Amino acid sequence: MAESILQLSKLITDNSSHLVSLTASRGLTIPHLNEQYTEESENFRKDAQCAEAAAIIVAAALQLAATLSPPQQSAYAIFGGACKASSVRVAVDSHVPEILLEAGEQGLHADKIAAKTGVDGKLLARHLRSLSNHHMFREVSPNVFANTRLSGVLGTGKPVDQIVANPESKHDDTSGFVAIVEQLTRDLHNAFAYGLDSIKDPLGRSAFQIAFNEPLTFYGWMEKPENAYRLHRFGISMRGFGAMQPPDAIEKAHSWDALPQDSVVVDVGGGVGTVGIALAKAFPHLKVVVQDTLAVVEAGENICKNSFPKGLASGRLSFQGHDFFTPQPIKNASIFILKNILHNWHDTQALTILRQLRGSATPETKLIVVGTVIGYNCREHAKGVESVYKEAPEPLLPNYGGANDMGYTMDITMMTIFNAKEFTIGDMKALLEQAGWRVVRVQRSVPPHNFFDPVIAVPV
Ligand SMILES: C[S@@+](CC[C@H](N)C(=O)[O-])C[C@H]1O[C@@H](n2cnc3c(N)ncnc32)[C@H](O)[C@@H]1O
C-alpha cells in the first residue's frame, strides 16, 4: 500500500516536471484553473507528449485519491453523481456561464445572476457552491461566483441578452459542447434512472423507452414534431463530439496516400460529409462517396456546394442516398468507412449493416470502423490483433483510469438510449467475424483523443 502511494506520487512528480519542461521548451502554456476557458488554452494538449504526460498525472492523482479517501466518500461521489448533473442543468439552463463570462474576474452575487433569468438566488447559490467544490465555478466571496475553466466550457460564449431573447437558438453557430451538456442533463438524465428496469425488462426495451414510455427508438422519438428543438440540438451536439476529436484524425486513420489513383472510398452513414469532405480535400487522388439517408445527403450536398464546390464539380466527392440496411450498391470500394454508426444499433441490426457491406466487398476491400474502442480494465490484449496503443504505466489502470472515462460513459449512454454499445475489441472482433470480416489492426489513441479509434478489418 505504502509502496503504491509512493509509486503514484512519483508518477505525478516525474510527469509534472516533464510536462513543465516540455511546454517551456515548446513555447506552450499550461492554463490556470481559474482562467476563463478559451479554445487556445488547450493548445498544449495538441502536443502528443504533453497530452500523455498530463493524462498520466491525472490518472495517478485520481488513483491516489481513490486509495486515500474513505471508501464511503469515494463511493458517494460516484452514486451521488445525479446531484451534480442536476446542478449542472440548473447552471446551464440559467445561462450562468455566459452571465459570469460577462461579469469577469470579480464574479457576481448569486441573487444578481438569478435575477437575469428569474430563478431563486438562494437555491442557485447552493447549486453553484456544490459545483465549485469540484472547481466548476468558484466562490470568490460568500455567494459571489466566478467562472473557472470547467464552468467556462458550459457556456456558448454568446451575449446573455441574445440567449434570453431567443433561447431556442442558443446552440446555433456554437461548437456544440453545450448542446451535449443540455441533452444529457435534460433528457437523458431521466432515462439513466431506468437502467436497472431495462436490464430486467422481458420486452428488451431500452431505459430511454421505459422512462419516456415510448415505443419508438430515440431517433424516431426525436423526429416527432413536438421534438423539433431536440432534433435540432442533437445535430449540433454531434458537431460538438466532432470538435473534441483532433481535426486531422481521419487523415491519420489509414495510409490513404498509398491507395491507387481513383480508389473508391465510401463513408457509409457519413452524415453531412464532415469526414468525406476532409478526405477528398486532403487526398485528391481518391473518389469519395458519402452515403446517408436522403434528407441528410441533400443537406450535405448543400453544405458542400459552399465549402468545397470543386470537389463536387470534379466528381472527387459525391453524395448518395442509401439505407445501410439494404444491399450496398457500390461494388468496387477500396474502403468502407463506418464512423460512429455501429454504436447506435443493437447487435442484430449492426450485423445487418456489416453483412450488407461484406456482400459488396471485393477481396481487397478494407473496412474501417471508427468510434470508441472500450479498453478492458485489465492488462489483457485481444489475441491475433495488432494493437497500436500505449498503455499507461503500472500501477495505473492500463486504460488511464479516471483520465479516460468518457468512453465508458458513452457506452452506458448508448445502452440507455439505443440498447447498443461502445465495443471492446473482443466484442468488435466477434461481431465482425459473424459478418465475414476479420479485424487486423486497432489503432487506439491516448486520452483525451480516444474516441476516435480506427479498427481495420478485411474480408474473411
Ligand atoms: C451518429 S451519426 C454519425 C455520422 C457520421 N458518420 C459521423 O461520424 O459524424 C449516425 C448517422 O447515421 C445515419 N443513418 C441513420 N439511419 C440510417 C440508415 N438506415 N441508412 C443510412 N444512414 C443512416 C444518420 O442520418 C446519421 O447521419
Ligand 1 centre distance from Cα of residue 338 (Å): 9
| Per-residue confidence (pLDDT) for residue 386, from 0 to 100 | 65
Could you tell me the CA-to-CA distances from 216 to 186, 206, 223, 384 in Å, in that order?
A: 19, 10, 10, 40
pLDDT higher than 60, residue 382: no
Could you tell me the CA-to-CA distances from 191 to 208, 212, 412 in Å, in that order?
A: 5, 7, 11
- Tens of pLDDT along 100-138? 999 999 999 999 999 999 999 999 999 999 999 999 999
Could you tell me the CA-to-CA distances from 204 to 207, 388, 395, 415, 428 in Å, in that order?
A: 9, 36, 39, 11, 22
Q: What residues contact residue 254 under an 8 Å CB cut-off, 6+ apart? A: 335, 366, 368, 454, 456
Report DSSP letters for 362-393, one per residue: -TT-EEEEEE-EEPPSSS-PPTT-EEE--PPP
Clarify whether 343 is annotated catalytic. Answer: yes
* 325 Cα nearest atom in ligand 1: 19
Who wins on pLDDT, 314 or 247?
Answer: 314
Inter-residue contact 400 to 55 (CB < 8 Å): yes
pLDDT higher than 70, residue 25: yes
| Per-residue confidence (pLDDT) for residue 195, from 0 to 100 | 97
**Residue indicated by cell numbers 489509414:** 254
Query: Does the beta carbon of 321 sit less than 6 angstroms from any atom of ligand 1?
Result: no
For residue 223, name the pLDDT band (cuts at 50, 70, 90). confident
- Tens of pLDDT along 317-349? 999 999 999 999 999 999 999 999 999 999 999
Grid cell of 22 as nine digits: 516540455
In a mutational test of the pocket of ligand 1, which residue from 290, 336, 341 has the highest number of ligand atoms less than 8 Å from its CB? 341
Which has the minimum average pLDDT: 72-76, 185-189, 328-332, 389-393?
A: 389-393
Q: What is the mean pLDDT of residues 132-145?
A: 97
**Residue indicated by cell numbers 457576481:** 108
Residue spans per domain, the chain: 2-76, 93-165, 171-243, 250-459
Query: Does the beta carbon of 223 sit less than 6 angstroms from any atom of ligand 1?
Result: no
| Per-residue confidence (pLDDT) for residue 239, from 0 to 100 | 80
Query: Does the beta carbon of 325 sit less than 6 angstroms from any atom of ligand 1?
Result: yes
Residue 12 CA to residue 58 CA, distance in Å, equals 8
Average pLDDT, rounded, for the chain: 93
Inter-residue contact 107 to 114 (CB < 8 Å): no
pLDDT higher than 90, residue 57: yes
Model ipTM? Answer: 0.99
| Per-residue confidence (pLDDT) for residue 385, from 0 to 100 | 66
CATH class of the domain defined by 250-459: alpha beta
- Tens of pLDDT along 263-273? 999 999 998 88
Catalytic residue among 343, 346, 381, 449: 343
| Per-residue confidence (pLDDT) for residue 207, from 0 to 100 | 97
pTM for the whole thing? 0.90
| Per-residue confidence (pLDDT) for residue 374, from 0 to 100 | 87
CATH of 93-165, one of 3.90.550.10, 3.30.10.20, 3.40.50.300, 1.10.10.10: 1.10.10.10
